[in-house]
Amino acid sequence: MFILASGLALGSCTLFRKREKIPVVETVRTADSPTPVTAARDLADVMATELNLSPEQTTQVREVLNRTVKQANAAKATFAPKSPQLMTELKRINTSSQKELQIVLGPTKFKQLQANQRKMAAEMQQRRQ
């Protein structure tokens, strides 16, 4: 009787039961994927460090980048991927964002931003991994 009871207990116990393998699904971002909302924060942090921004400038840059991400994601949700309409809208959003950043940063730091864009992009890639 004891052997039967212990056998049933062990058989139904989750420690001894074979577990089902749950597949791991990795998220792969494509150019059509929405931009993560954390991207604006991360880029603002990288810019703050690289360009030696004041706390006020960092806050303003973060606001500009947050708006840019929201607008870009809305455009991606509205227009077909890689459509001329989407490309036009993203170009408009980018141009507007660049103008706002130029005002916030001033001419000297904006030139630094343009010169260091590749370096900052590489750092952003590292943060995502």
**Dist. CA 107–CA 85, nearest whole Å:** 31
| Residues 59-115 pLDDT 10s | 999 999 999 999 999 999 999 999 999 999 999 999 999 999 999 999 999 999 999
- pTM equals 0.71
pLDDT at 28: 55
- Label residue 2 by pLDDT band (50, 70, 90): very low
Mean pLDDT of all residues in the chain? Answer: 82
**Dist. CA 69–CA 77, nearest whole Å:** 12
| Residues 39-52 pLDDT 10s | 888 899 999 999 99
| Residues 6-27 pLDDT 10s | 444 445 444 455 555 555 544 5
With CA atoms as reference, report the closest residue to 101 among 60, 71, 41, 67: 60
**Residue type at 71?**
Q
User: What residue spans of 2-128 are helical by DSSP H?
Assistant: 2-12, 38-51, 55-78, 84-128
**Dist. CA 35–CA 108, nearest whole Å:** 28
